[in-house]
Amino acid sequence: VSVLEEAQIKARTLVEALPYIRSYRGEVAVVKIGGAALSEPRLAQILAEDLVLLSYVGVRVIVVHGGGAQISKAMSSSGAEARFVGGMRVTDDAAMEQVQRVLMGSVNTELVGRLNSAGATAVGLSGVDGAVMTAQRMTADDGSDLGRVGRVTDVNGPFLESLLDLGYLPVLASIATSSEHTTLNVNADVVAAAVAAATKARKLIYVTDVAGIYRDFHVKDSLVSEIKADELEALVSSLDGGMRPKALSAIEAVRAGVSKVHMIDGRVEHALLLEIFTDAGVGTEVLS
């Protein structure tokens, strides 16, 4: 293959993305990045570049991030043990301080820096900034106390959209403000769904550390490629760990009018571009 032919293959690839670019430009896409997808610097860099490319072709990208792995690591190195009920982190005051320190002081700033060096003008914020996200204390599914964990009650969509209008790429950490003048830890998946609903997003994409939803996590060929919200609801009780809140929030988002919700594998290079600009159909797609 000559140099020219090689360059033409690249040109063709760009043109093949044209119908997708046309259909998504001007639309809001909320991308939730899990802690696992951020812990490997090389993959985090590729993901940042994908996000910047998306915004350059006119997609109104809003990033929401978690940091479960990083918070658990910080807690264990300070001698505290992470505890979860129904996929939600039990958060006492000391843990909340760690959550804030890790999410805003480390994960958010690092991600914003990566996006900026890849060419974006990203703005990092938590739900506390501008009171963009409010929450109310909640208990676990089984009624047990979760401490400073909240249920999202409101997201200021117009504020996020005004950042987009000004050309900024918002990067939101999963901390909310509450009416009791405290901050609350909220599950980042739930945040992403609430942000998608508040901004009438066309797409909500969860970048995680598995290939998608497995009907049975121990059976490798049970990966679901497409599922309706009602069917997923019947499956939720069999999902463990972080996949449960993710599935529940995907259902909520679809019911709130987000046309498509995807769960994709952050360990796969360019999974985000593959999902948006090709028919490759990576991961799991949740439909209404």
Ligand X SMILES: Nc1ncnc2c1ncn2[C@@H]1O[C@H](COP(=O)(O)OP(=O)(O)OP(=O)(O)O)[C@@H](O)[C@H]1O
Q: Examine residue 194 and tell whether it contacts ligand X (CB under 6 A).
A: no
Cα(226)–Cα(287) distance, integer angstroms: 7
Q: Examine residue 266 and tell whether it contacts Mg ion (CB under 5 A).
A: no
Residue where the block lists tokens 């703005």: 123
Q: Cβ of residue 245: shortest distance to Mg ion, in angstroms?
A: 6
Q: Which of 36, 151, 175 is nearest to 95 (CA)?
A: 175
Q: Examine residue 261 and tell whether it contacts ligand X (CB under 6 A).
A: no
Among 150, 170, 212, 242, binds Mg ion (CB under 5 A): 242
Nearest residue relative to ligand X (C-beta): 242
- Looking at the Cβ atoms of 80 and 223, the one nearer to ligand X is 223
| Residue 180 φ then ψ, to 5° | -85, 20
- Looking at the Cβ atoms of 6 and 240, the one nearer to ligand X is 240
Q: Which of 67, 96, 92, 68 is nearest to 176 (CA)?
A: 96
| Residue 206 φ then ψ, to 5° | -95, 115
Cα(167)–Cα(161) distance, integer angstroms: 10
Q: Examine residue 239 and tell whether it contacts ligand X (CB under 6 A).
A: yes
- Looking at the Cβ atoms of 159 and 217, the one nearer to ligand X is 217
Q: Examine residue 127 and tell whether it contacts ligand X (CB under 6 A).
A: no
Q: Cβ of residue 104: shortest distance to ligand X, in angstroms?
A: 15
Annotate 29-96 with DSSP letters as a single string. Answer: EEEEE-HHHHSSHHHHHHHHHHHHHHHHTT-EEEEEE--HHHHHHHHHHTT----EETTEE-B-HHHH
Cα(46)–Cα(18) distance, integer angstroms: 21
**Contact string (CB under 5 A) for Mg ion, positions 48-87, x = contact:** ----------------------------------------
Among 59, 243, 248, 261, binds ligand X (CB under 6 A): 243
Among 52, 210, 250, 274, binds ligand X (CB under 6 A): 210
Residues that bind Mg ion (CB under 5 A): 242
Residues that bind ligand X (CB under 6 A): 34-36, 66-69, 188-189, 208-210, 213-214, 217, 239-243, 246
